Homo-oligomer: A and B are copies of this chain.
């Protein structure tokens, strides 16, 4: 079965002995065209299964109604939730979405960004690769089309940025621990100063300060790769201390879960001896036992918001540089890992 080509305006017009222009106008409900003609044209179009070639249309108008999305890794639940939000909001507004992964590779990221602009996307949504140094190239693209950053952002790129209230979220998490009566609160964070890690750490510090709790360097642990395994490893260090912490705030759920596993091994009671709080509200946080207290990040909303701002900029371009940062509110979900009875 060989593939049929799509019906074109030309074919319709020939069939009807009308001009292409008239057919086009009839299909687009142009007021100039008589009702009779319109009906005739539409009927045949339906019959011949005509679908407009959006490519040709977009090509002409310089608008593709396609948005590009670049993320480090699509198969992280949080990321795919954001993308879900992006797709839904975009479709609602008549846009389609092309998705690409940078795999946290700076070069790949730029490459994707470039091919996307080549494809004529109307705008780009992007979450930056871990070590994005080469901001120059991003700026070049930003000269041509609107870009909105989300989740992993950078102040070096002057554009709209959609993030969660990292600092405040961390503050709330740590405050919650303090309210439980915890005084020696450890943090497990990233070594490298990613935007997220930095902000969350700042929130941790602010909470301690505000409640006059001394900041102890020994309780501040960092790791390159904030994984479950490293969470476990760092928790082991904490456990082996002469004076153990009475709470652990891990800046990701995975690290928190690693910590819980380590605590289990030493039969340390959670939360009585050591409470644990994570960050993300991943599915895992309800599977682990005790269930993990964590910060819920509304990925869907982040995605939708980013799309809204991007389309705004596409539709009504301004001459001003958009550098606003939009903060999406998170909420702390308290579960057994910090529920004192």
Contact = CB atoms under 8 A, between A and B. Distances in A.
B88 A84 contact: no
Contact of A73 (B84, B97, B257): B84
A288 to B, nearest CB: 5
Complex copy number for this chain: 2
Given A84-B73, A283-B283, A287-B284, A319 B1 contact: yes
A96 to B, nearest CB: 6
B80 A3 contact: no
Contacts of A143: 1, 3-4
A55 B3 contact: no
The residue in A1, A6, A75, A79 that gathers the most chain B C-beta atoms within 10 A of its C-beta is A75
Interface residues of A, number: 58
B98 A97 contact: yes
Given A2-B319, A87-B74, A317-B3, A118 B51 contact: yes
A114 B83 contact: no
B51 A98 contact: no
Given A80-B80, A96-B98, A119 B3 contact: no
Interface stretch (A34-42, A56-64, A124-132, A330-338): A56-64
Given A3-B146, A75-B80, A284-B283, A87 B64 contact: no
Interface in A75-109: 75-77, 79-81, 83-84, 87-88, 91, 96-101
Contact of A88 (B77, B101, B115, B288): B101
Given A56-B59, A74-B83, 13 more contacts: A3-B144, A3-B146, A49-B140, A52-B118, A53-B120, A54-B115, A54-B119, A54-B120, A73-B84, A74-B84, A83-B99, A84-B101, A98-B98
